[in-house]
Amino acid sequence: MKRPADNLNDRPSKLSIFLRRQKRLIRPALVTLVLCAVGAGCIAFAHHVGSDERFAPFRARMVNMLPLRITNITVTGNELTSDDALQAALGVRRGDFILGFSLNAARQRIDALPFVDHSVVERRLPDTIIIHLIERRPFAVWQNHGHFMLIDREGNQVRDQGMTGKDAQAFMQLPLVVGPDANLAAASLMDELSAQPEVRSHVTAAVRVGQRRWNLTLRDGTIVMLPEGEEVPALKRLAQMQQDMRLLDRPVVSIDMRLPDRLIIREAPHPASNDNATPPTAEPSGLPAPDMPWTRPDVANLRRRA
């Protein structure tokens, strides 16, 4: 049976059907074009604002309104590098805008620190900075026959870059040991000194005598003669005397602790009794004379001797 003619006129044309289908695609395309235009305008405005000093206060307010703030700074590998030095080299701290600094510039500043060989600095959005240090492992400075070198805990020489830049800083910050065999015996002495911070803070150098025992040179030039193989009880005794009577702050020439049953202190002669001053007492027969008091040279002297 045929359909009536008026029903045939109600059927939509092919063009109408096509346009109706395309309308679903045209609307998202228009929205995308509008968003792109707005984004381009924002980028152009931000570039203009960023290059114009008149908008500096506005930029500062925008940064303060941004939510991306540093709340965590994670550091690994910093056994010799202090937290204060690392913080200063990083250049930002907790609460600062996490996108407001250069990772490359921060890494270069950290790599310039005395004990850092190289570093890795990462920014983890939204709020974390991660720093990993690969440190050189110098433990002390060893002076032997007029030459200075960085050594590790085992006494082996640590690669350095000469007496300039951060190596000069490392030389001036590390403990100094002097004499043959001092590099091999330094670790145990420095560990024992670290256990007595009242004494360690006064020591500028440790001189190995006869490859058997140690003399400590204090900041004021006083020589402390430690007994062979009995450094631990001697340092504990010295720390107790420092606590009780401030012995290490007194103007004495030497403190002889080599005998187990006595302590011999040589005081500096008074000006009125210089003519009658007793000459320095040599070590007992069969023992080598102690080295002359040693004072840490400045960087210029280190460069000349190295």
pLDDT tens over the chain, length 306 residues: 455 555 545 566 666 666 666 666 666 767 677 776 766 665 565 555 444 566 666 656 655 556 778 999 999 998 888 889 899 999 998 988 888 889 999 999 999 888 888 999 999 988 899 999 998 888 899 999 888 888 888 898 887 655 556 667 777 888 999 999 999 999 999 999 999 999 999 999 999 999 999 999 999 999 999 999 999 999 999 999 999 999 999 989 999 999 988 889 998 776 665 455 454 443 443 333 344 344 444 444 444 443
Identify the sign of the CA torsion 86, 89, 95, 101.
Answer: negative
| Structural domains of the chain in order of their starting residue, each with its CATH number | 69-135 (3.10.20.310), 140-267 (3.40.50.11690)
Cis peptide before 126 (omega within 30 of 0): yes
Token look-up 């968003």 returns 35
Structure tokens that stand for 31 in this block: 């929205």
Does an H or E element contain 264, and which? strand 264-267
176 and 204 in contact (C-beta within 8 Å)? yes
Residue that is written with structure tokens 């040179």 in the block? 217
Contacts of 122 (CB under 8 A, 6+ apart): 103, 129, 130, 131
Which pTM was predicted?
0.55
Q: Write down the H helix ranges in 52-149.
A: 56-65, 83-90, 103-111
CB distance 141 to 149 below 8 Å: yes
Q: Closest by alpha carbon to 255, among 271, 232, 237?
A: 237
